[in-house]
Chain A
């Protein structure tokens, strides 16, 4: 019989006798709380990021005054990113002897990559609908101000530059509307395929090109890293953290707050695990002395108990993950009035994170007391008063502070703040 099988049998026997109940409960509570918070913060954070991305209508945008190289678009395709383009420029509209300066927005297919458009086909807004694509070729969407200022109605023709287009919708919401000077001008939105026919863009025209990309966070990050060194001074790369600093900072703070609050739970759970393991090891001094007496070597003792703890940790963590999943669902239900209605689905990554935290915290907090078992003298079978030396304070503190420090660093990504929190604690 292998040593691992023996460890499993001893684990089964211990659990059957109730020896492990407190430890298992402490572990499940630790993993449940850390998984629930990981899932809760991950879902909330991704929901917030998604909502924030709607302000850009994409995950990443290149803002420039001239079209970018075709190679860059090909590279984005290689990274598996979806693409859309918009072109913004001001234009004077003349209809029924009325003149109006409008902000023209030319959109490609797939626009918007993030978020939605809202438009209506009736002037009293009763038929407002949510749309995921802009106007089709030959049509134009306008803000209601355009209709009243130029004495137009839905179905009429509106000439943009040299191209007459049919008004099909009144635009009521666009996700990436900028807060600049031209936002005071009413919006006109047309399809990219009509741009050339308008003949509006001439040398010297004040035009902004926005090349938008969306996709997996890792692909976006890699594309961004590839792109950055190639940008010239007139080309700006924008994402939610750079384009809207106030929103980016709020997100960062929310991430840190939720992360640090989960560390507090993990720390409390860790202390519970350490206490439960200490009790477990003290109750196993006699059994360990007997095993030593029967010929078990020190490393075998350590392996026997640590492998039991790894199996125990994996099982309790798996159960904790399931309970954590339900706990975060309950949490979202309780807070549904305060949180965004459209939440993203829980991610497997967050569950895996909760599971890993469970096993790592178990080993970090349980290992020092567990190491005492290795030191149990076989002579204890005759002299019960022989206690193994306590685990060294250096080991206990360095393991627990190390794990907590890594977690704080993971959430804050700030060495100075990590040192401050650890120093203050």
Chain B
């Protein structure tokens, strides 16, 4: 009981009876059911499972990108389920960073501008200096003015990592960050991700198919048919 209380007081993400269902022509489809999660600040969690098991749906709910059909989610004590879309957007800007499988860089912007973007949305006056420093940290000091098309996949994911850490988020969601990379580049990126995570004391939620990668996280949550197993 005491352990449970300690865990709850230190929790940065807390879900209770979380569920997501969609109505289809063939009836109601339950994508996630009865998800109870406590993730502590600074923890690194791997979410693994087969394709279609509900991993991406789970992180979309935890990040406030989608709304649950049932249950509740709290991020740093704030109830996501009671917020409207604009409230969730404000919370994402304040607490969350993202790394995606497909990098999600804006094609018209340079590497530097892509990293500056979340800082500019916050109104950070030192956006350029912070972004330059981060790109330097991920080894792209000579690529500041290059657009995504001029960068390799690995370099694009480095830019995405720099962007994700630019706002010093409390929580980082990484959705299959090596899914589009060859194994060697993927390993480099993962090393960098964990280094940055450690330096920034960020809570990492990593979605992956890769059991070796999952093993590098402190805890693994397996999802099957929408339930934690």
- A-side contacts of B21, CB under 8 Å: none
Q: A295 touching B108 by the CB < 8 A rule?
A: no
- Any chain B CB within 8 A of the CB of A292? yes
- B-side contacts of A287, CB under 8 Å: 106
- B-side contacts of A16, CB under 8 Å: 108
Q: A1-B127, A298-B85, A381-B104 are contacts. A293–B92 as well, Cβ < 8 Å?
A: yes
Give bound CA distance, A293 to B117, whole Å: 12
Give bound CA distance, A293 to B113, whole Å: 17
- B-side contacts of A143, CB under 8 Å: none
- Any chain A CB within 8 A of the CB of B226? no
Q: A294 touching B86 by the CB < 8 A rule?
A: no
Interface size on A, residues (CB 8 A): 27
Within 8 A of A (CB), among B80-96: 85-86, 89-94
- A-side contacts of B125, CB under 8 Å: 1
- B-side contacts of A293, CB under 8 Å: 63, 65, 92, 98, 104
- Any chain A CB within 8 A of the CB of B54? no
Set A2, A295, A382: member contacting B60, Cβ < 8 A: A382
- Any chain A CB within 8 A of the CB of B175? yes
Q: B94 touching A13 by the CB < 8 A rule?
A: no
Give bound CA distance, A292 to B117, whole Å: 12
Q: A294 touching B118 by the CB < 8 A rule?
A: yes
Q: B107 touching A382 by the CB < 8 A rule?
A: no
1/0 contact trace for A164-207 toward B, CB 8 Å? 00000000000000000000000000000000000000000000
Q: A295 touching B90 by the CB < 8 A rule?
A: yes
Q: A378 touching B106 by the CB < 8 A rule?
A: no
Q: B100 touching A381 by the CB < 8 A rule?
A: yes
- Any chain B CB within 8 A of the CB of A414? no
CB distance from B88 to the nearest CB of A (A): 8
1/0 contact trace for B108-122 toward A, CB 8 Å? 110001000110111
Q: B109 touching A13 by the CB < 8 A rule?
A: yes
Give bound CA distance, A299 to B84, whole Å: 13
Q: A381 touching B65 by the CB < 8 A rule?
A: yes
- Any chain B CB within 8 A of the CB of A99? no
CB distance from A266 to the nearest CB of B (A): 30
- Any chain B CB within 8 A of the CB of A333? no
- Any chain B CB within 8 A of the CB of A291? yes
Question: Whose C-beta in chain A lies nearest to the C-beta of B118?
Answer: A294
Q: A290 touching B106 by the CB < 8 A rule?
A: yes
Give bound CA distance, A379 to B58, whole Å: 12
- Any chain A CB within 8 A of the CB of B185? no
- A-side contacts of B127, CB under 8 Å: 1
- B-side contacts of A379, CB under 8 Å: 60, 65-66
Give bound CA distance, A85 to B122, whole Å: 72
Q: A6 touching B120 by the CB < 8 A rule?
A: yes
- Any chain A CB within 8 A of the CB of B34? no
- Any chain B CB within 8 A of the CB of A296? yes
- B-side contacts of A14, CB under 8 Å: 108
Question: Whose C-beta in chain A lies nearest to the C-beta of B92?
Answer: A295
- B-side contacts of A296, CB under 8 Å: 89, 93, 121
- A-side contacts of B124, CB under 8 Å: 1
Question: Whose C-beta in chain B lies nearest to the C-beta of A299?
Answer: B86
- Any chain B CB within 8 A of the CB of A286? yes
Q: A287-B106, A294-B93, A295-B92 are contacts. A13–B120 as well, Cβ < 8 Å?
A: no
Question: Whose C-beta in chain A lies nearest to the C-beta of B56?
Answer: A382
- Any chain B CB within 8 A of the CB of A19? yes
Give bound CA distance, A298 to B85, whole Å: 8
CB distance from B59 to the nearest CB of A (A): 8
Q: A286 touching B104 by the CB < 8 A rule?
A: yes
- B-side contacts of A383, CB under 8 Å: 56
Within 8 A of A (CB), among B127-181: 127, 147, 175
- Any chain A CB within 8 A of the CB of B123? yes
Q: A381-B100, A382-B65 are contacts. A291–B60 as well, Cβ < 8 Å?
A: no
Give bound CA distance, A13 to B98, whole Å: 23
Q: A13-B109, A381-B100 are contacts. A294–B121 as well, Cβ < 8 Å?
A: yes
Within 8 A of B (CB), among A82-99: none
Give bound CA distance, A292 to B85, whole Å: 10
Set A17, A291, A382: member contacting B121, Cβ < 8 A: A291
Q: A298 touching B65 by the CB < 8 A rule?
A: no
- B-side contacts of A261, CB under 8 Å: none
Q: A19 touching B108 by the CB < 8 A rule?
A: yes
Give bound CA distance, A286 to B94, whole Å: 21
Give bound CA distance, A383 to B20, whole Å: 16
- B-side contacts of A382, CB under 8 Å: 56, 59-60, 65, 100, 175
Give bound CA distance, A249 to B98, whole Å: 69
Within 8 A of B (CB), among A283-319: 286-287, 290-299
- B-side contacts of A1, CB under 8 Å: 120, 123-125, 127
Q: A13 touching B108 by the CB < 8 A rule?
A: yes
A-B contact pairs, 26 of them (CB 8 A): A1-B120, A1-B125, A1-B127, A2-B123, A6-B120, A9-B113, A13-B109, A14-B108, A286-B104, A287-B106, A290-B104, A291-B117, A293-B63, A294-B117, A295-B90, A295-B91, A295-B92, A295-B93, A296-B89, A297-B86, A298-B86, A378-B89, A379-B66, A381-B104, A382-B56, A382-B60
Given A9-B120, A13-B108, A298-B85, 16 further pairs, Cβ under 8 A:
A1-B120, A1-B124, A1-B127, A13-B109, A13-B113, A14-B108, A16-B108, A17-B108, A287-B106, A291-B117, A293-B104, A297-B89, A377-B65, A377-B66, A379-B60, A382-B60
Which residues of A are in contact with B by a Cβ distance under 8 Å? 1-2, 6, 9, 13-14, 16-17, 19, 286-287, 290-299, 377-379, 381-383
Q: Which 8 A-B pairs have the closest CB atoms?
A: A295-B93, A17-B108, A297-B86, A379-B65, A294-B118, A295-B92, A378-B65, A297-B89
